[in-house]
Amino acid sequence: MTALARILADRIGHDGPMTVAAYMAECLLHPQYGYYTTRPPFGAKGDFITAPEISQMFGELVGLCLAQSWLDQGAPARFTLAELGPGRGTLMADILRATRGVPGFHAAMQVTLHEASPALRAVQAKTLAGFAPVWIDDIATLPDQPLFLVANEFFDALPIHQYVKQGGRWHERVVGLAAGRLAFGLTPDASQAGIGDRFAQDPEGSVVETCPAATPYITAIKARLSRHGGLALLVDYGGWRSKGDTLQALKAHAFADPLAEPGRADLTAHVDFEVLAGDWPARHYTTQGAFLTALGIAARAERLAQSLTGVARENHLAAHRRLTEPAEMGSLFKVLALAGPDAPPPAGFA
Ligand code: SAH
């Protein structure tokens, strides 16, 4: 048993089973034993690798998309350049390098980061030294000005609730104890909380997930966009009204049992983009592959390949395929753009 498994088993022994959301929050962000608090999870030696860590092209193209939208919206003299869950700061660093040549962009931006892990904050401070980033703990304190924001693999790390349909009613899935070990169960009482009637027609045995933790983020983003304009690019794996049990644990680049080693494996769930978009009219949605292709990744890849030889060139070409091909990240990952109500459509969405 991991130290965190023992802590959680004790707590469940006292207080009874905990929701999947509470379990996920403890596994990821427990101050002492949480996954993000204790380890650098990314890269070849870590448990998973993200798009900006695969290739600089990802951040460059995201940066150009944001900068183009900033220009299209009249190049506001002050704006927030924000990132949610910046990891090692690689994506923001690539965005900043790619936009260096956009006149006025750097002078107008205030780099603003939202990061729960103190260890990763320290890494970000190093990577982004020279750009005077500020960190905000509470998303409601995003400055009240135009907002250009990116979040890559952030929403998939927010805790989800799971519900299972039994006897025609939804019961919340919980983590309890069976023979002293963590085990999934269901609350005996049915609950409609937070599900609404979107899934009323789903058959017996169906599993649905909700992510109330995403609401404050989406509310804060849309409030800035509607008052001042801007663009939010939300990149993640998931779908439009994604369904089923998508809770997954990753350890050393392989799937693991989500209950086996709390705090030592990454836990994520698919993002339901329909919920994030809500009734926002200025929204655009496509796959990561289509987005990067429309922004010109093929030409950029070719250009970079010219200066590379041997293994470096092979790796670079593989990275291009990995980001865009349907069998790799190209289709599973989606991009949702929320734009200011009066903004022209952002680049990258055909
Ligand atoms: N965007 C980066 C990292 C993705 S991993 C990349 O693409 O490489 C998820 C990131 O979100 C990590 O930086 C993690 O510490 C942060 N994070 C997870 N849950 C969070 C929360 N509730 N609040 C703030 N940051 C969080």
pLDDT of residue 199: 84
Which pLDDT tens digit goes with each residue over 197-240? 788 889 999 999 999 999 999 999 999 999 999 999 999 999 99
3-state secondary structure of 189: strand
Whether residue 191 is predicted with pLDDT greater than 80 in this model: the reply is: no
In sequence order, which residues have a C-beta less than 8 Å from that of residue 128 and are 6 or more positions away? 89, 92, 93, 96, 111, 113
In sequence order, which residues have a C-beta less than 8 Å from that of residue 103 and are 6 or more positions away? none
Of residues 219 and 43, more confidently modeled: 219
For residue 42, name the pLDDT band (cuts at 50, 70, 90).
low
DSSP code of 213? G
Measured from CB, residues less than 6 Å from any atom of ligand 1 are 28, 36, 42, 50, 52-53, 85-87, 91, 114-117, 120, 152-154, 157-158
pLDDT of residue 98: 98
Whether residue 45 is predicted with pLDDT greater than 80 in this model: the reply is: no
Please, are residues 252 and 41 in contact by the beta-carbon 8 Å criterion? no
pLDDT of residue 195: 79
pLDDT of residue 131: 98
3-state secondary structure of 122: helix
Rounded average pLDDT over 46-58: 90
Rounded average pLDDT over 75-82: 98
Question: What's the token pair of residue 216?
Answer: 């404050």
For residue 47, name the pLDDT band (cuts at 50, 70, 90).
confident
pLDDT of residue 242: 83
Residue 87 φ/ψ, nearest 5 degrees: 60, -125
CA 190–ligand 1 middle distance (angstroms): 32
Whole-angstrom Cα distance, residue 6 to residue 4? 5
For residue 111, name the pLDDT band (cuts at 50, 70, 90).
very high
Which pLDDT tens digit goes with each residue over 144-161? 999 999 999 999 999 999
Which pLDDT tens digit goes with each residue over 238-265? 999 888 999 999 988 889 999 999 999 9
Question: What's the token pair of residue 281?
Answer: 């009219």
Closest ligand 1 atom to Cα of 36: 15
Rounded average pLDDT over 16-35: 95
In the chain, the largest separation of any two C-alpha atoms, in whole Å, equals: 64
For residue 95, name the pLDDT band (cuts at 50, 70, 90).
very high
pLDDT of residue 109: 98
Mean pLDDT, all residues of the chain: 94
Neighbours of 167 (CB within 10 A): 7
For residue 38, name the pLDDT band (cuts at 50, 70, 90).
confident
Among protein residues, the one with the nearest Cα to ligand 1's atom 16 is: 85
Rounded average pLDDT over 163-191: 92
Given phi > 0 = left and psi -120 to 50 = alpha, else beta, which region is 194?
left
CA 87–ligand 1 middle distance (angstroms): 6
For a mutational test of ligand 1's pocket, the pick from 28, 37, 117, i.e. the residue with the most ligand atoms closer than 8 A to its C-beta, is 117
Whether residue 40 is predicted with pLDDT greater than 70 in this model: the reply is: no
pTM above threshold 0.75: yes
